[in-house]
Amino acid sequence: MVEDRRIKILIVDDEPSIGDLLGRYLTPDGYNCRVVRSGKEALEELESTTYHLVLADIIMPGMSGIDLLTIIRSQYPDVAVIMVTPVDDRDTGVLAVELGAYGYIVKPFERNEILINVANAIERRRLALLAREGKGVKTSTEEQVTLRRRPIQVSARKVLDLINSGMDEAALMGELKLSAKALHSLMDQVVAAGLLKQSEVDRRNSLSPGSVVVDLDQVEFPEINKEKPVISATDAAQCIRSGMDDSALMKRYGISAKALRSLFRKLVASGVVEQHELDRTSEFHLWAVLED
């Protein structure tokens, strides 16, 4: 018999129509789905079968989705969990994420929303497992690389509090000790978890420039200065080599995290800096995991 190597997803919902709908959404994309109607049935399934992900309704008779989440995180820590609820309550979503859920989806939902959240959770689970496997004995250099690329955990409630306080991207990165790339990943997770709308993130990004012009010859560009900041390649390279982190670079040039990534790409493409120089300074935290 050929082993089924597809991603296995356990769907837990007391409403047959919702559970079956989730199965129909996911199966065409190659996921192996099993639907059960209660937390008790879910635990029986988890005891007998290895699952990659659980999609669980929060409001169920008997064992609630939050209770089920708590048990899964305790007894089956390698299983990713996404919560589904008919109530658009941000406090409930934050609680679920703080208890270990990888996402929070509000009914009614669209197929694309489900697929994005599931793919995001599966990838985060994969990265977490890889990081855990990387804790073996290594040479000092290898150990430094592993530590640099190990996911760090960030409190969902803290992130939302900082965002709601009006803190800009550079300040967020400094407070959370993240690179521009890690902040971008974290914001994607906040949106995927249903804790923040994409429009809110886009509105914040629009306050800072999203792209830059790199001045390779120290020449002024007055005609485009108002639209895009012009940054000296020599100055940027010196700042990077001095060890200046991403948040400090953004403050220096008055640019967003998106613009900083644009600057890095242009500096590498023009040969002013090497990619390994950026790896040493900007990617200290490659991933940020939204949970407590």
* Residue 260, pLDDT score: 83
* Residue 65, pLDDT score: 93
Q: How far apart are CA 220 and CA 231, in angstroms?
A: 10
Q: Report the top-level CATH class of 8-128.
A: alpha beta
Per-residue pLDDT of the chain (292 residues; tens, 9 = 90+): 445 568 999 999 999 899 999 999 999 989 999 999 999 999 999 999 999 999 999 999 999 999 999 999 999 999 999 999 877 666 777 788 878 888 888 888 888 888 888 888 888 888 888 877 764 434 333 333 333 444 566 777 788 888 888 777 777 777 777 777 777 778 878 887 778 788 777 776 665 555 667 666 544 444 444 456 788 888 888 777 766 677 777 878 888 777 888 888 888 888 888 877 776 444 433 344 555 4
* Residue 147, pLDDT score: 36
Report which of 120, 119, 183, 121 is spatially closest to residue 152, judged by C-alpha positions. 183
* Residue 138, pLDDT score: 40
* Residue 217, pLDDT score: 55
Expressed in angstroms, the distance from the first to the final Cα of the chain is 41
* Residue 226, pLDDT score: 47
- Residue 258: beta bridge partners? none
Locate the domains of the chain by residue range.
Answer: 8-128, 147-292
Report which of 34, 119, 30, 44 is spatially closest to residue 76, judged by C-alpha positions. 44
pLDDT tens-digit readout, 234-286: 888 877 776 667 777 787 888 877 788 888 888 888 888 887 777 644 443 33
Indicate the burial class of 202 (C-beta count within 10 angstroms; 0-12, 13-18, 19 or more).
Answer: exposed
* Residue 77, pLDDT score: 92
* Residue 211, pLDDT score: 62
Cα torsion 183, 187, 192, 197 to 10°: value is -170
Give the chain's count of helices (H) and strands (E): 14, 9
The pTM score is: 0.54
* Residue 42, pLDDT score: 97
* Residue 17, pLDDT score: 92
* Residue 233, pLDDT score: 83
* Residue 33, pLDDT score: 96
Range list of β-strands (E), 13-135: 32-36, 53-57, 80-85, 103-106
